[in-house]
Structure formats: C-alpha cells, structure tokens
Structure 1
Amino acid sequence: ALAIEAEALGEVATTDVCRNLVRLFRGGRAANRAFAPEIAAQQREVRKVAVLGAGVMGGGIAELAAAHDIAVILKDIDRDALDVGLRHANELLQKAGKRGIIAPEEVGPKFALIHGTLDYERFGDVDVVIEAVVERLHVKQQVLRDVEAELPAHAVFATNTSSLSVTELSRAAARPDRVVGLHFFNPVHRMPLVEVIRGESSSDAALATVVRLARRLGKTPVLVADRPGFIVNRLLAPYLNEVGFLLKDGAEVVGIDRTLKDFGLPMGPCRLLDEVGFDVAAHVAKEMTRAFGDRMRPSAALETLTGLGRLGKKNDRGFYTYSDREERVDREVSRAFGSGGGGVRPEEIIDRCLLLSVNEATYALEEGVVAGPGDVDLAMVLGTGFPPFRGGPLAWAESRGVGAVRDRLLELQERHGDRFAPAPGLERLAATNGSFTSDAPWRDPGSPLEM
C-alpha cells in the first residue's frame, strides 16, 4: 500500500497543476514576509481602527475588523447610511455565527466592538483609518484633511481606493508619509487579497503597519506601486473591455461566459460586468484609457448598454435579468447586439480576453508595479478567481511558451487592431527565449518595491 501511495504521489507531484499550486503557496508565504526585518521592526500594533464611509465596503471592513477582535469606529456623514452600514456588519457577523466561522455566543460581543458615529469625537487613539468614501479625489482629500486633525501623530491613513492615485491624495495631508493605499476586494469577508499601495511619500513604517493589519485580518497583502489600476484592475480592464469587441464580432453573451467558466474562472466577463456595474466599468475604462492610451480604449458596447438605462445587477438590468431566480440574457441585449449565431470560436474568446491581460502584465512588470511575476499571478488568483490550478495568467502563458504567445498576439493584432500589439517586455522575452515566470528579466535593484 505504501508503495502504491508513493508511486501515485510521485505522479501527482510532477504535474503542472502541482507545480502551479506549490508556486502560489510559496508566493502567499513570501507576500506575508514582504519587508526586510529592519523595516518590519517599525510596524505598530493596531488596537483600534476607524472606517470612514458606511457603505457596503465600509460596513464589510468594519465587520472584518470586529470579527478579528479589533475595536472599530464606523463613521459616516448620514445617519441613514450609517444605520445601513451597521446592519450590514451585524448581518455578516450573524451569518458567520450560523456557519460556525465564529462561535454563536461571540457574535454579540464582536458587534459591540463597532461604534457608529457621525463625528470625530473618539478618534484620538485610532491607529489606522481606512477610508472608503465615494471614489472622487477631491472628496477623499477633504476627508483626509478633516480626519487628520483629530488623529494621533502615529496614525496611518489608508485609502481603499480602487483607481485613484495615493500620491495625489497624500498631497492634501499634513503628514503624507502616513498615507498609503489598502485596497480590499468585494465581498470583503470572502476575498483573500488586499493590495497595499505605496505612494511616493509613504513611509516604510506606515506600509509595514498596514501589512501587519492585513495579515491579522486574515488577508494576503501584495505590495503594489502607485500606478493607475494598481495590478488587479489594470489587468482586469482589457479583459472586460474585450467583451464589447467580441459581441460586435458575433459572439453571444452566454457563449462568452460559458467559455471562460469552462476555462476555470468563477464567472464569465459579462456576468462580472453585471456585478461591477456598467457605469463603474465605463468610469474605470475612461481612467485606464487616459493613463495608457488606445490599448485600453473600450468598444462602444458599455455606452450602448448604459444608454439603454442598464447599469447591471444594481438595477436588475445588465446583460442578464435578475427579476426572478433564473438568470437569463435580457432580450433587449440580444436585440442591441444581434444574435450573432455564436460566430467566435471558444479558443479565440479565451485568447482575446486573457492574452490581453498577459500582455498588460508585462507592461506592469516593466514599470515595477509589483516585485515580480509571482505577485502578478498571486494577485490575479486571489483577487479575481483566476483558476489556481492554472497558476495565474503568467503561469498559464508560460505553459504555452513565450514565442507562441507573442506570435498569437501578432496574429490578433493583424486581425483586430493594435490593442493586441505585444508589449516591449514581451517582445524582449521572446527574442531572448525568456520565461514569463522568472523574476530575472524584471529585477531592478533601484525599484521602490525592493525591500
């Protein structure tokens, strides 16, 4: 029996799936040791946090902190919004108690750790502020000015922005070295990733403190440079943009989503756009286009849908209808884009959506957005649900070969436009027979992420 087990283990241990999973495991361990010992020694213990903005995200972050026995202030400027945030936090704790994640008798005491307020009266001993207000720079800067005056000097201000510049935000601060990004993913209580964003002025001590907090909250932190979209949304943007081009070329909503789900993703891009909201996706696409040019420019599909008053799941009118238990493609969507007859092959759907993300990852690596390919793959697996058995987008691309990926992008460029033009870094990898998963081509001792 032992011989049979050893033989079976030997077969499993040499598979690509095993190598991918082990690499992700090691990447997660490395992410939790993101700082050199002399920097890690500067981190402070977090005994009390404040969350600004009591929306779904703010309420979720407050619940997460309380669930891990950290005292929380949940602040909003509107009483009704505050009540909604507190109810959301309580509901999440109640569900955790019913599922055995926490003991049922602990639900009440943990919820009591959350103090809801409309003012800054109890902020004098807060260690970390997590800002989760509306995604507008001038609003966040005013909130930063207001709260900073009430905080102790050591407190860290961590913005939960998903797209705005941490550096620009910090220009409103009296202590810009205490301003960092701490980007949670929705739903907060389920998604294991947080992006920790270093602004130009962010101190090592502030970053180390929020990394320690993220680990205490049960999250895996990935350190990211302050670039538009950070890493996850930057790679997700071209993937979602391609949906419109596929629909224009005759693909169908169901066919696109089924193909990407069969690949291993938790949901297809059309369904994901419904969750994100067409208005939010259009705003992100606009910001990405401003930052990176035409390769991020979306098709007119989102404008067509928002012009029809469709925002996604938030108003029960997206690609799918949500008015009953069965999700179905809305007939109005079918009329807007035509039947198409399923005219795009599954393998082309996969390549057009995912190779864009791979290509964008090489741009990001050249810019030093993350420390290396392992962080790209870890972030996309934990932040988007990219199938772990495939190892992340760069590990998947590695299985195809750098030269083959470059050639396929050139083919797609010729047929569909310059958004598929291989990135200079990818061209260099192909010319030198390099590897998507090796750190060596991207290692720069001067990088701000080298610690």
Structure 2
Amino acid sequence: MEEAPMPLHEERVRKIDSQPSDRIDLAIVGVGTLGATVAQLALSTGLKVLMVVRPGDEKKILASEMLDEWLRREVFCGRMSSEAAVRARSLARITSSFEALHDCDVVLESVAEDLLYKRAILANIEASVRPDCLIASTTSSLPAAWIAAETAHPERVAVAHYVWPAHRIPLVEVAFSTQTAQAHKDRLHELLRRQGKMWVEVKDKPGFLTTRVLFGYWSETLELVREGVSPTDIDRAMEEFGWPMGPCRVMDGAGLETILRVQKCVAPFLGGRIDGLARIGTLVAAGHVGGRSRSGFYVHDADGTRPNDAVIELSNIRLSEAPTDIVDRLMGAMLNEAAHCIAEGIVASWEEASFAVDYAFRFPARRGGMLGYLRSVRPTEVVARLEFLCAKHGPRFRPSAAFAEAARTTTEVIS
C-alpha cells in the first residue's frame, strides 16, 4: 500500500484518562530501532510510557535526545502541534531500573533477537511486575511458547510483532502460545485498539507470516546480487513494479545486523528457502550494517546515497546489463512463501495473508495488493513460472504443494 502518515490522535493526547499518577500504560524494555518507534507510537496516542534502557546516564540521555528529535521532526513536518508535542513528552519516563515496572499494565520486551537473552530479560521483568501484568515480545521470529518456556507464568506471555517503523505501519502481527490466557489476549487487543492498530493473529511458529514472506523476497535479492546483479538495478526494477522502495534500500533502513540475527533464527525451519540471505554476513562482518553505520548496500552520507563498493565482495561476477527476470524471481519467492504459510496453517487463507502483507509492507496498490496481483497473473501461471525457476535455480522455487494442487484443480486459488 502507498505510505500514509498515521493519524495524529491529538484529541486523545489532550484527553488522557484520569489515572493515578504512578500508573503506567505501557513499558518498553529495549529502545532500539523498533522499540523507539513503538514508544513514539504510544506517546502519540496518549499513553503513559516507561522506557527501560541499559544502565548508565549515557543511555538515558540518548533515549531522551531521540524523543526530543522525533517530536521536533513531527512538529516541523506538521504531523503534530507544539502543544501536543509538549503533552506527549510529558507522558514519557526513562529508567534503567526493572523495579519501576511494578506500576505497569503492559510490558513490551523489545531487545535483540536472541532467545536466551530474551528469556533472561523476561525473568527480570517477571520478578518486577504485578501478577496481572501482560508481558509481550516484539519478536519477529521467535514463538511465544519458546520465549515463555522458562517463565513462572507463561499464561501472560504473548507476541506483538510491530512492523518497523511502528509509528507509521498500521499492522501488528499477534501470536499466542497454547498457554496464553484469554484475559491477556484481550488486554493486548485493547492496547492495539488504543494505538489505532490493525492486527492479524498467526500461528505460533518460527517466523510467523510476515517475516517468512519478507525474508523469502530478500533472500532471492541476495541470490541476484551473488549472480552479479547490482543493488541499484534490483531496486529500480522493483520500484518500477510499484514498491515504494527497492529491497536493498529497505534492508539498509531495517539494519543488516538485525536481519542477519533473525535469518539465523528462522532459516533452519524453512528448507533452505532463505539461506541466500545469510550472505549479508559478509557486509556485516566488514562493518557495513545499514543505517547505523551509514553504509550497507549503499553508502549514505552528506553527498546522498551511492552504491557501496563493498557489495562487489558478494559476487565474483559483474553483469553488463540487468536480467529481465528480476520481478519474476522476487515476486515468485514472495508468493510461494505466502503459499507455504497458508499450507502450514500460519494463517487460514489468501485473504488473511494478503491483508497482512499489504498493510505490513505496502504491497503496490496499483497491483491491487497481493491478492489482486495473484488474481491478475493467475495461480496456474505463477506455478508454471515457479516450476521453470525451480528447474533453472534450484528447489527453493519448488511450488508449495497446496499452491500447486489449487492451481491444478481450480481457476481460482483464492477461496
């Protein structure tokens, strides 16, 4: 979908429910790339927010400066009035003490994508919160059941995978373990309603839906780079198709280090279909991690954005011209991974999958979203293309069994 600014919700910022002064609507433990945007979203919708950072005055100062800079930018761009910005800033507290979590209704864990680290953080959270507090993780790949496995009360643990940047993207992917209590499911839904979010509930399996679909698309991007296709040519082709930004530009923004950590979590469960994405490890090892280092697939500096020569290390070949099948390969990988997710019951239907992908990644509106695009190219034709790509490039393109069966038995894969 085309990008649109999120609503200002200024009226809600002004009309905060009268609450005891010590009550916190939402705590966020870990204010990195994603956690910072969740904090911005919560403050802009009138929630009282506690941000828990690592010990040290420097971390608190950085978090405070991040908030101030965001609010200045919101006012400058006309997305928030000066009055609303002052009010939003007054709703934020920054601490490095887990003890402050005692007054929180909901705690979001948003630390690095590492299962053991997340479990350690949850142990600290659980030791500090009230018995009725919901604990949710913003993980993009780790099932709630895994994260909650060593907690005393797994019934209050859930996944709320906000899509970065959380204050701009309207969708949240939600997952619950078999032990998550209904009361805590309801509390998470209420939080998302207060934030003006839409959500899709997915099966509690590694990678959920959106990460799997996105990483299939990104992994094939890296396969093209390995074959000598330049990031510039890939991005140009996909932007001409209708995406707001090409995949290499998006990966630079999301952070290659984070992407690599998530890839390592999910890849073992996907039969080799996202193994190509591991090649960004070469860039990460050389210090090219995307926005944070101002270099990834591209170099980002005062002179603008230009190709990063370090990407040459990912391939021994340089093509004189871009291949004509860039769109076929990237969209084929995306659609096939969505089909695998439907076949495995991650979501129930193409309608649900398309809803999630359209709102999470802004699937080109002029293509009718993912569902419209699939209908326009016809499932039988998609399967034929995948079979051709499978013969040429290997089993990662083998059509999902459910996808192929639907295409053989009906003219419409969409029920």
Q: TM-score, normalised by structure 2?
A: 0.88
Q: Per-residue CA shift, 1:154-204, capped at 9, x if unaligned?
A: 211011111222111111222211110111122222121111112232222
* Number of the residue aligned with 1:437: 414
Matches within 5 A, 1:162-311: 162-298=140-276, 301-311=279-289
Give, in whole Å, the separation in 1 of the partners of 2:71 and 2:287. Answer: 35
Give the partner amino acid of 1:365: I
Q: 2:124 aligns with which of 127, 137, 146?
A: 146
1:119 paired with 2:97, answer yes
CA distance in 1, matches of 2:127, 2:287: 42
1-side partners of 2:234 and 2:136: how far apart? 37
1:69-117 CA-to-partner distances (Å, cap 9, x unmatched) read 2111111232322322232223223332333433311222221111112
Larger Cα-atom Rg = 1
Distance 2:411 2:403 in 1: 9
Report whether the alignment pairs 1:102 with 2:94.
no
Compute the displacement of 1:131 (Å): 0.9
CA-CA distance at 1:398 after TM superposition: 1.9
SS at match of 1:295: coil
Q: Give the AA of the match of 2:254.
A: V
Partner of 1:398: 375
Q: Which residue of 1 aligns with 2:319?
A: 340
Asked if the contact 1:215–1:221 (Cα under 8 Å) also holds between the matched residues in 2, the reply is: no
**What is the deviation of 1:307?**
4.8
Residue type at the aligned position of 1:93 = L
2:225 match: secondary structure? helix
Shift of 1:434: 5.0
Structure-1 residue corresponding to 2:19? none
Q: Aligned pair count?
A: 393
Measured in 2, the distance between the counterparts of 1:281 and 1:248 equals: 18
Q: Output the amino acid matched with 2:151.
A: A
What are the superposed Cα offsets for residues 12-66 of structure 1, whole Å, 9 maximum, x if unpaired?
A: xxxxxxxx99xxxxxxxxxxxxxxxxxxxxxxxx961111113243333223222
Root-mean-square deviation (Å): 2.3
Q: Give 1:300 deviation, angstroms.
A: 6.7
AA aligned opposite 1:431:
R
What's the offset of the Cα at 1:379? Answer: 1.6
Map of 1:441 onto structure 2: none
Whole-angstrom CA distance in 1 between matches of 2:80 and 2:257: 37
Equivalent residue, structure 1, for 2:42:
65
Following TM superposition, by how much is the alpha carbon of 1:432 offset from its aligned partner in structure 2, in angstroms?
Answer: 1.2
| Cα 1:174–1:332 shift into 2, 3 Å | closer
**Residues 252 and 341 in structure 1, CA contact (< 8 A), matched pair in contact too:** no
Match of 1:359 in 2: 336
Give the counterpart of 1:329 among 285, 291, 307.
307
Q: Distance in 2 between matches of 1:134 and 1:62?
A: 16
Residue 377 of structure 1 deviates from its aligned partner by: 1.2
The CA deviation at 1:299 is 6.4
Residue number among 65, 68, 79 corresponding to 1:90 in the alignment:
68
Q: Is the 8 A contact 1:54 1:81 kept in 2?
A: no
Shift of 1:256: 0.9
Is the contact made by 1:222 and 1:379 (CA closer than 8 Å) also made in structure 2? Answer: yes
1:74-85 counterparts in 2 under 5 A? 74-79=51-56, 80-85=58-63
Indicate how the Cα distance of structure 1 residues 380 and 92 shifts in structure 2: closer, same or farther if over 3 A, else same. same
Stretches of structure 1 that go unaligned for 5 or more consecutive residues are 1-19, 22-45, 439-451
Structure 2, unmatched stretches of 5+, are 3-22
1:404 deviates by 0.8
C-alpha separation in 2, matches of 1:123 and 1:317: 37
Task: For residue 343 of structure 1, report the CA deviation from its aligned partner.
Answer: 4.2
- Asked whether the 8 Å contact 1:55–1:85 carries over to 2, the reply is no
C-alpha displacement of 1:214: 1.2
Asked if 1 retains the 8 angstrom alpha-carbon contact of 2:115 and 2:142, the reply is yes
**Structure-2 separation of matches of 1:374 and 1:47:** 37
The separation in 1 between residues aligned to 2:30 and 2:109, in whole angstroms, is 7
- Other structure's SS at 1:225 match: coil
